[in-house]
């Protein structure tokens, strides 16, 4: 299942980019005349930036007619999609974050980060990406963006004593953007166990995506009689 339309592909990529930019501008408070860098302490805005960059690169490759370049990005696309769905979307669901958590204009970036972007990325993969490119070992690498984020923040807090707390009620205590991964609050063993469980869950979901990707790859239609005609021509 794939739409072979350059115009539709470009329009969809522009929708992703515009939605992401709107969320980032709204969350940074730049539209209100001030800039808050605290949003960059959270994984969702950073992932949104990565998705925007990926979409821009794919647009450039498409404009230049470079399909090979797009193929090289598919592994990154799968990784961004899995992180977007599991980490960003389900973190909001598990932590019971909803529209009622914020008020007014604050709802716009929250809804885009946690709900709209995951949907846009999944639909982008289903409708526009070539299928049959996922290697079965790739799911072990799909959680890398989330793992890199966690390692960097843990080092910043616990080694360099940097305050990475954010601006939401989610960060009500400690210096970590997500209290569940704050070693001071949750304990080292609990944080390690939670990180391992999250990695296993993401890898398992990655295998599902890789399997679906290979199941949806185009099949070559058999041309009946070809081998028979070739054999007859060879004998004569």
pLDDT tens figures, 151-208: 998 898 888 877 777 655 444 456 778 777 888 888 889 989 989 998 998 899 889 9
pTM of the predicted structure, to 2 decimals = 0.81
Per-residue pLDDT at 105? 54
**CA-CA distances (angstroms) from residue 232 to 26, 39, 67, 225, 227?**
71, 71, 39, 11, 9
19-50 per-position pLDDT tens digit: 999 989 888 877 666 676 777 888 888 999 99
Q: What is the pLDDT of residue 234?
A: 46
In-domain check, residue 155: no
- Examine residue 119 and state whether it is found in any structural domain, yes or no: yes
pLDDT at 49: 92
Query: Does residue 163 lie in a domain region?
Result: no
pLDDT at residue 176 in the model: 76
- Could you give the CA distance from residue 101 to residue 39 in angstroms, rounded to a whole number? 16
Domain span including residue 104: 6-134+205-235
Is 211 a member of any domain? yes
> Which of 169, 46, 162, 147 shows the shortest CA–CA distance to 98?
169
Model confidence pLDDT, tens digit, residues 71-130 = 656 677 788 888 887 776 666 655 555 444 555 556 778 788 888 888 899 898 888 888
Q: What whole-number distance in Å separates Cα of residue 105 and Cα of residue 114?
A: 15
pLDDT score of 53? 92
**Is residue 30, in this structure, part of any structural domain at all?**
yes
What is the model's pLDDT at position 227?
A: 44
Asked if the model's pLDDT at residue 230 lies above 50, the reply is: no
Q: Indicate whether 63 belongs to any domain.
A: yes
Greater confidence (78 vs 236) lies with 78
Q: What is the pLDDT of residue 44?
A: 86
Report yes or no on 16 lying in a domain.
Answer: yes
pLDDT in the model for residue 1? 62
Q: Structural domain tally of the chain?
A: 1
Does 107 map to a domain? yes
């Amino acid at each position: 299942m794939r739409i072979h339309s350059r115009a539709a592909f470009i329009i969809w990529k522009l929708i992703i980019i515009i939605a992401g930019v709107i969320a980032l501008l709204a969350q940074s408070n730049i539209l209100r005349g001030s800039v808050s860098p605290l949003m960059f302490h959270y994984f969702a805005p950073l992932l949104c930036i990565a998705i925007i960059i990926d979409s821009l690169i794919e647009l450039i490759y498409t404009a230049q007619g470079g399909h090979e370049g797009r193929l090289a990005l598919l592994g990154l696309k799968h990784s961004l999609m899995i992180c977007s769905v599991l980490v960003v979307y389900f973190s909001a669901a598990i932590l019971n974050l909803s529209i009622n958590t914020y008020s007014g204009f604050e709802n716009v970036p929250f809804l885009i980060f946690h709900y709209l972007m995951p949907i846009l990325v999944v639909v982008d993969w289903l409708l526009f990406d070539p299928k049959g490119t996922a290697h079965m070992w790739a799911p072990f690498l799909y959680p890398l963006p989330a793992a890199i984020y966690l390692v960097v923040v843990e080092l910043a807090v616990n080694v360099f004593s940097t305050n990475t707390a954010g601006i939401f009620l989610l960060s009500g205590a400690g210096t970590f953007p997500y209290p569940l991964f704050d070693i001071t609050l949750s304990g080292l063993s609990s944080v390690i166990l939670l990180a391992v469980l999250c990695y296993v869950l993401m890898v398992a979901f990655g295998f599902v995506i890789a399997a679906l990707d290979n199941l949806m790859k185009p099949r070559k239609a058999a041309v009946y009689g070809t081998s028979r005609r070739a054999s007859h021509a060879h004998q004569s």
